[in-house]
Amino acid sequence: MAMVFWGLAGIAVVALIGFFVIAPAVAERGMNRVLPHAPWPVSDRAKALHETLTIGDWHCDSLLWNRDLTRRGTRGHVDLPRLIAGNVAVQVFTTVTRVPAGMNVRDTKPASDRITLLAIAQLWPVKSWRSLCERGLHQARRLHRVADRVPQGLRILRDRADLDRLLADRARGQKVVGALIGAEGAHVLDARLDNLDRLWDAGFRLIGLHHFLDSEVGGSLHGTTRAGLTPYGRDLVRALVAKGFIIDLTHSSVQTARDVLALTDVPLVVSHTGICSFCQSPRNFPDDLMVEIMARGGVAGIGYWAEVIGDPSPAGIAGAVKAAVDLLGEDHVSLGSDFDGAVPQPFDVSELAAVTEALLGAGLPERVIAKVMGGNMVRLLARMLPARGA
Ligand SMILES: [Zn+2]
């Protein structure tokens, strides 16, 4: 009997270790792959140019995975050492709080949520198992802990003073990364506008209205309704503008995006996307909508993965960037990698100079490359971040 007990207990322990330790790591290793490649060629000219650039990226999902971001990892695409190796100055870390099973870019239906399982398996606080807001706040706290542990390496950007200080320190040669906290989907509010203050206080500065599901805010680009903003969604947009959040239209339905354009004239971001006429995909907004969004002074972050650009290689990225510059103008194109966002990537962030090389190869002038690699992002942040603290 005792033998049977200890045998069963042993199996239970192995199962628990498998669920809590191994499963999340295996899941990440499978989802955040780097496509096999020989080292991407980077010329001396590209290397030298890359070192002079202020580089920014509008979207990564690294906070979703229980990796120690202060250490160079053997899986995934982003951590602090790799950001520094890639010479990144500003990185948006997005919190992902709900992803339905069976999600797809065409018609995602409500289904069991995968992030709940990930939250339990990664032993996140129990509050975060049920509340999407707690889930977002927990991910933000993980980033604050990185900044607390390695303050010389990573800082959370809350206001323009933080941005100015970051740029000044980098100009003096300090390899420090500025991190901006974002949310992928306003469902992070648990349908309560008063939660906006909690997010703001936790350092959130960018809010995407949607992810894959239609929500209380309105229709997703990937849901079943294609609806526009609900009355709550309109109140939300007004509140976001009033508070000073940057609004991200990625994943919202076309009608939702048009409704936002009708409500406000603040600059808007499409953080991780492609250009539809370059890569026909239900994941990309129609060209005319992109033009309309950017006419307000917005910025589009071009992604690196096949679904939005077709060819996921540095040359493919450069092609998509060039198409974006041609369509939207050189002041409105930026980077939006979707690193660690469960898509296979052509490289990790440490190899980012390959993009500079490819942009030179595509014939873009160095002045335009500097804007795309981060100049445009920094300009928008300088305009949109609050002057101080708040
Ligand atoms: Zn996304």
DSSP secondary structure of 66-115: ---TTS--SSSS--HHHHHHTTEEEEEEEEE---BTT--SS------BHH
CA of 80 to the centre of ligand 1 (A): 21
Q: Tell how far the Cα of 48 is from the centroid of ligand 1, in angstroms.
A: 32
Whole-number Å distance, alpha carbon 280 to ligand 1 midpoint, is 17
- How far away, in angstroms, is 317 Cα from ligand 1 center? 17
- The pair of structure tokens assigned to 143 is 């980033």
For ligand 1, the distance from its centroid to the CA atom of residue 172, given in whole angstroms, is: 34
**Radius of gyration of the chain measured on its C-alpha atoms:** 21
What average pLDDT does this structure show over 278-303? 97
pTM confidence score: 0.94
Please give the C-alpha separations between residue 268 and each of 43, 197, 383, in angstroms, as whole numbers.
35, 21, 12
User: How many Å apart are CA 314 and CA 138, to the nearest integer?
Assistant: 34
What pLDDT does residue 159 have? 97
Higher pLDDT, 111 or 390: 111
Q: With 60 as the cut, is the pLDDT of residue 389 above it?
A: no
User: Which two three-digit tokens encode residue 73?
Assistant: 């990892």
**198 C-alpha to center of ligand 1: Å?**
23
d(CA 160, CA 182): 16
- The tokens describing 110, both together, are 């409500």
Ligand 1 centroid–CA 12 distance in Å is: 36
* 362 pLDDT higher than 70: yes
Is the pLDDT confidence value at 385 over 70?
A: yes
- pLDDT confidence of residue 111: 83
Which residues on neighbouring strands pair with residue 96, listed in sequence order? Answer: 184
| CB within 8 Å of 15: residues ≥ 6 apart | none
Is residue 1 predicted with pLDDT exceeding 60?
no
Spatial contact of 285 and 300, defined as CB atoms under 8 Å apart: no
pLDDT at 329: 98
Say if residues 95 and 136 touch (Cβ distance below 8 Å).
yes
pLDDT in tens, 191-231: 999 999 999 999 999 999 999 999 999 999 999 999 999 99
Ligand 1 centroid to Cα of residue 184, in Å, is 7
Euclidean distance between CA atoms 16 and 307, whole angstroms: 36
Name the burial class of residue 354, with classes exposed (0-12), middle (13-18) and buried (19+) by CB atoms within 10 angstroms of its CB. buried
Ligand 1 centroid, distance to 106 Cα (angstroms): 14
CA of 251 to the centre of ligand 1 (A): 7
Q: State the chain's mean pLDDT as an integer.
A: 94
d(CA 116, ligand 1 centre) in Å: 18
Ligand 1 centre to CA of 183 (Å) is 10
Task: Give which of 330, 336, 289 is closest to 309, Cα–Cα.
Answer: 336
Task: Determine the distance separating the centroid of ligand 1 and the alpha carbon of 272, expressed in angstroms.
Answer: 7
Distance from Cα 211 to the centre of ligand 1, integer Å: 6
Report the separation in Å between the CA atom of 332 and the middle of ligand 1, taken as the mean of its atom positions.
Answer: 19
Range with the poorest average pLDDT among 4-18, 268-282, 330-344: 4-18
| 87 CA from centroid of ligand 1 (Å) | 23
CA of 336 to the centre of ligand 1 (A): 10
Å from CA of 273 to ligand 1 middle: 9
Q: Which helix (H) or strand (E) holds 367?
A: helix 366-370
d(CA 89, CA 175): 8
Kindly indicate the confidence band of residue 64, based on its pLDDT and cuts at 50, 70 and 90.
very high
CA of 339 to the centre of ligand 1 (A): 10
pLDDT digits (tens, 9 = 90+) for 126-178: 999 999 999 999 999 999 999 999 999 999 999 999 999 999 999 999 999 99
Cα–ligand 1 centroid distance for 220 (angstroms): 12
Rounded to whole angstroms, the Cα distance separating 209 from 361 reads: 36
Torsion of CA 202, 204, 208, 210, to 10 degrees: -10
Which of 348, 343, 345 minimizes the C-alpha distance to 31?
343
Q: Is 222 helix (H, G, I), strand (E, B) or coil?
A: coil
Alpha carbon of 93 to ligand 1 centroid (Å): 12
Q: What per-residue confidence (pLDDT) applies to 25?
A: 80
pLDDT of residue 16: 63
271 alpha carbon – ligand 1 mean position (Å): 8
Ligand 1 centroid–CA 206 distance in Å is: 13
